[in-house]
Amino acid sequence: MPSSNSLFSHRYFPGADGIPFGDYLNRLFFDPREDNEDFIIHGPNVVRLTKALVCNRLQAENGLLAGTEDERRRTSTTYFRYFAPIYHALELGDPDQKKLERAELFMGAAAMFHDIGKTIRRANHPQIGANLLRSFDQEQSNLLVNALQYDGEPDELQSKHHRFSLICSTTQHHDKFGVVSTGEGALPVFSDILYFTSNEKVLEGIVKNVTSVMLLNLGDIAAVVPGTLGKEIRGEALRVAREIGECRSRQETARQGELLEHLTSIIENPSCCLGLKPDKVQAVLSDWGILVESIQHPEVKGNRGRLKRRLLYIEQNPARTIQRILRLLIESTETSNAHALTGYLSPTSVESVLVGALGSHQFQYFCQQFASAVKLDYALNFFKAIVCACVRKVFHRLGISPIKQDSWNSLLQEEAKMLEELGRHDLQSIVNHVTALFVKVLHGIITRYTGVLEAGGLDARRFGFQLRDLTTDVKIREAIIDLLCVEESKDHVALTWIADEVTIWSMD
């Protein structure tokens, strides 16, 4: 039987010969689709950083920690505070080097397969990837089952089949915790992750599953390729990766090792990773803590239906709504290169805007409905565009000469520097404007679908909103952003347009 070690080449890349779904992995890593070319850097870094998280090697792994020295220290401290329960949830028991090495190996394999659905389509790629692994080619699925058998394990042991189910689950749900495409997530979305029979006898397996998904999510977030990464580095990585792919297609092994080492040296550059900051790690781990506690709650005991209802109840708390919008604001400012704004964001400022815009009673009602809107799919780019438009509007008002803009959802370095040089009053004014627009957009969408969202009871449903169409068509995007952020007294027109473009679907 093949060993799971044979899945890898040079630590972070798929093996060259005979590995499960090898054709898909080779395309993914060495000849990605045009809309996924950053995977050349992102993919191996997800493997690298996820393995480091399993073994708590945060300080030692380039690019895993982001920000100032103080921020990196606080991120490490936060993660270390949760590491003992994470270790326990992975069923590693007392410190056991062999078990830890196996957990690291498995999570590396899960990371390698997590985006395999992108070889077919970027949209909904987690579910597509899980379908590929589970039911597209039974011979390849069986090959993966056997590859997940550890050295020295009896052939008849069921553990490899459980690992196969777990790797399918991590692939299917790797966008649930703190998702990059959305910037935030609601607790009830996590009830999808359970795949074992819902009874208290398998609570340990359920907790291990959601913990594995969480760790892969963190690695995926940390390995995001920053928009500020230079074209030269991207181009060189793409060139080297494609040369590796060509060598593999011709079955030329001589240069592959040298090329893989060169590609490794590129991806390990800290500038190639977004990295983790304290707020992001705290958000993901606190959600994980609530989820684990809820799974084990006496009234839930692993039952998915009861878990969903409990998580919906928790999510309806106004504090959760404030925190959720705050996370979206932080993610949008951080990833749009508007870092100067992030320090002016707070729960108090978000609450003030919410209550001021909606009133106390309407705010409570909004919280109840927003809890059911558990996924804002592909929303982050749109909210990043709002941030950039608001910043550029202030530049225009202050008479700052416009810079030729390469990106609608990220500030140029020169713009980011100009933003840092603005006074406290201007920065706070931008934050207030951005927060107000975020609340207006979310409230406008929720209002459009009130009749659907207010249906509750024991069979309460969860819903997702698709915001991709707000950014995929350039003319629509520019028109909406202009009406919402630039034109005076036209935001009501933009909100109507947004509500018309956003679709809703039931997740149950």
Task: Please state, in angstroms and rounded to a whole number, the distance separating the CA atoms of residues 417 and 394.
Answer: 14
Average of per-residue pLDDT across 304-315:
91
**Of 272, 300, 324, which residue constitutes the final position of a domain?**
272
pLDDT at 197 (0 to 100): 47
Same domain, 335 and 471: yes
The CB-based long-range contact list for 296-302 (8 Å cut-off, 24+ gap) reads 296/203, 296/207, 301/199, 301/200, 301/203, 302/194, 302/196, 302/198, 302/199, 302/200, 302/202, 302/203, 302/206
> Residue 7 class from Cβ within 10 Å (0-12 exposed, 13-18 middle, 19+ buried)?
buried
What digits encode the pLDDT tens for the residues 26-84?
Answer: 999 999 998 888 999 999 999 999 999 999 998 889 999 998 999 999 999 999 999 99
Q: Which domain covers residue 100, as residue numbers?
A: 4-272
Assess if residue 502 is contained within a domain: yes
Same domain, 267 and 338: no
pLDDT at 249 (0 to 100): 87
Assess if residue 287 is contained within a domain: no
Average of per-residue pLDDT across 266-286:
92
pLDDT at 198 (0 to 100): 45
Yes or no: say if 126 and 117 are a contact pair by the CB < 8 Å rule.
yes
Same domain, 226 and 347: no
Place of tokens 């919008």: 325
Assess if residue 428 is contained within a domain: yes
If you average pLDDT over every residue of the chain, what do you get?
A: 89
DSSP 485: I
Question: Two tokens at 202?
Answer: 């398998």
Assess if residue 308 is contained within a domain: no
Same domain, 92 and 224: yes
**Of 211, 244, 272, which residue constitutes the final position of a domain?**
272
First-residue to last-residue Cα distance in the chain: 40
Residue 2 has pLDDT above 50, yes or no: no
Same domain, 256 and 342: no
Residue 435 has pLDDT above 90, yes or no: yes
Q: Which band of pLDDT confidence, cut at 50, 70 and 90, is reported for residue 94?
A: low
Residue 238 has pLDDT above 60, yes or no: yes
What digits encode the pLDDT tens for the residues 323-356?
Answer: 999 999 998 998 899 999 999 999 999 999 999 9
**Of 219, 245, 272, which residue constitutes the final position of a domain?**
272
DSSP 3: -
pLDDT at 196 (0 to 100): 52
pLDDT at 60 (0 to 100): 84
Radius of gyration of the chain (CA): 23
Residue 260 has pLDDT above 50, yes or no: yes
Same domain, 120 and 66: yes
Same domain, 333 and 453: yes
Residue 181 has pLDDT above 70, yes or no: no
Assess if residue 297 is contained within a domain: no
Q: How many percent of the chain have pLDDT more than 70? A: 94
Same domain, 47 and 137: yes
pLDDT at 195 (0 to 100): 59
pLDDT at 8 (0 to 100): 87
Same domain, 137 and 231: yes
Render 434-458 in DSSP notation, one character per residue: HHHHHHHHHHHHHHHTHHHHT--ST
Residue 496's beta-bridge partner residues?
Answer: none
Angle formed at CA 22 by CA 16 and CA 25, multiple of 5 degrees: 95
Same domain, 40 and 144: yes
Question: Two tokens at 420?
Answer: 């840092």
Residue 503's beta-bridge partner residues?
Answer: 466
SS3 content of the chain, % helix, strand, coil (to 5): 65, 5, 30
Residue, of 94 and 376, whose pLDDT is higher: 376
| DSSP 3-state of 472 | helix
pLDDT at 361 (0 to 100): 87
DSSP 333: H
Same domain, 257 and 366: no
Assess if residue 348 is contained within a domain: yes
Task: Please state, in angstroms and rounded to a whole number, the distance separating the CA atoms of residues 479 and 482.
Answer: 5
Q: Is the dihedral of CA 427, 429, 432, 435 positive or negative?
A: negative
Question: Two tokens at 438?
Answer: 């975020």
Angle formed at CA 374 by CA 330 and CA 312, multiple of 5 degrees: 110
Count of domains in the chain?
2
Assess if residue 302 is contained within a domain: no
pLDDT at 52 (0 to 100): 95
Q: Where are the alpha helices (DSSP H) in 114-179?
A: 125-131, 138-147, 159-173
Assess if residue 301 is contained within a domain: no
pTM strictly above 0.75: yes
Question: Other CB atoms closer than 10 Å to residue 109's CB: what's the count?
Answer: 26
Residue 314 has pLDDT above 90, yes or no: yes
Task: Please state, in angstroms and rounded to a whole number, the distance separating the CA atoms of residues 373 and 386.
Answer: 21
Going by C-alpha positions, the residue among 373, 343, 352 that lies closest to residue 444 is 373
Same domain, 456 and 350: yes
